[in-house]
């Protein structure tokens, strides 16, 4: 009984801190959108809280933080790159110089809370410099808690991890590769699908699994530190999109039963 009470108090504390971070992001959205230092501080604090997540409701709050921080970052980048005037002559001059490469470097280098799945390719040669998919955030003079920057260990508190995480790991270990949408989409329940998406995101962030793109499909695989794998992903799925995917899955299942 005492343990249950302590767990509830811990969960309440995590949720309260997440709500405070969301309120701070709302303040940033209404005011200083391009305040990178303050935004990075919020993201770093959410990374520390992420290690204490135990419930789906806490996962949803973390996903909310991620979505809001990415939105603010995109607005900040757009604001910094808004040109006053662009002419065809100016465009030719830019394409014939190294300014495009510098712009790409700036875009990739000044983000907070997001990573680019593919590097921007705007240069004349079309050659992309090799770059790690997960870039470290700029920390400059910000005093960031170093624990926020450390990768989450796979075996930490494994006995307390949600059953869904273990289930995801077992399924992928057995089949090696599973279609992402077949893994997370429950044709009978949209709310369960959203919950599965959140748990899969948690499994990715904890280093248990990854996503790979193959033949225009997203495949869930065991993590292998391959450069082509994605190790963090936030997916937003509307109810309409869910209905289309569910219908497609049911049609596929019906076709297989007829064979």
- 20 — pLDDT class (breaks 50, 70, 90): very high
Average the pLDDT over 198-224 and give the result: 80
* Buried/exposed 222-258: b ≥16 CB within 10 Å, e otherwise: ebeeeeebbbebebeeeeeebeebbeebeeeeeeeee
Residue 137 DSSP code = P
Closest of 33, 16, 56 to residue 162, by C-alpha: 56
CA–CA gap between residue 160 and residue 157 (Å, rounded): 5
The answer, yes or no, to whether residue 43 has pLDDT greater than 80, is yes
Give pLDDT, residue 159. 40
pLDDT at 222 over 60: yes
Please say if the pLDDT value at position 118 is more than 70: no
**pLDDT at residue 184 is higher than 80:** yes
Across all residues in the chain, what is the average pLDDT? 71
Query: Which of 87-101, 204-218, 224-238 has the lowest average pLDDT?
Result: 224-238
Residue 139: predicted pLDDT:
38
pLDDT tens by residue, 140-180: 333 434 343 333 333 334 444 567 778 888 888 888 888 88
Q: Copy the structure tokens of residue 41.
A: 């501080």
> What's the whole-number mean pLDDT along residues 11-28?
88
pLDDT digits (tens, 9 = 90+) for 47-99: 888 878 877 788 888 888 888 888 888 787 777 666 566 677 777 777 777 77
Which class for 161: exposed (0-12), middle (13-18), buried (19 or more C-beta within 10 A)? buried
């Amino acid at each position: 009984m005492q343990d249950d009470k302590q767990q509830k108090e811990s969960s309440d504390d995590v949720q309260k801190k997440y709500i405070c971070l969301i309120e701070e992001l709302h303040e940033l959205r209404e005011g200083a959108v391009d305040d990178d230092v303050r935004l990075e501080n919020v993201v770093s604090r959410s990374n520390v809280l992420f290690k204490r997540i135990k419930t789906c409701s806490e996962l949803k709050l973390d996903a909310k933080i991620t979505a809001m921080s990415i939105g603010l970052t995109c607005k900040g980048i757009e604001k910094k790159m808004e040109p006053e005037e662009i002419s065809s002559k100016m465009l030719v001059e830019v394409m014939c110089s190294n300014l495009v490469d510098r712009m790409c470097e700036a875009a990739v280098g000044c983000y907070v809370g997001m990573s680019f799945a593919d590097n921007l390719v705007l240069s004349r040669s079309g050659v992309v410099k090799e770059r790690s998919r997960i870039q470290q955030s700029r920390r400059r003079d910000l005093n960031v808690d170093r624990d926020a920057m450390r990768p989450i260990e796979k075996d930490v508190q494994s006995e307390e991890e949600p059953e869904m995480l273990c289930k995801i790991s077992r399924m992928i270990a057995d089949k090696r590769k599973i279609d992402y949408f077949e893994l997370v989409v429950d044709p009978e329940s949209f709310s369960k699908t959203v919950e599965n998406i959140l748990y899969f995101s948690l499994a990715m962030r904890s280093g248990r699994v990854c996503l790979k793109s193959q033949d225009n499909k997203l495949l869930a695989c065991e993590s292998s530190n391959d450069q082509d794998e994605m190790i963090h992903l936030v997916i937003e799925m509307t109810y309409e999109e869910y209905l289309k995917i569910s219908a497609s899955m049911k049609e596929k299942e019906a076709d297989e039963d007829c064979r």
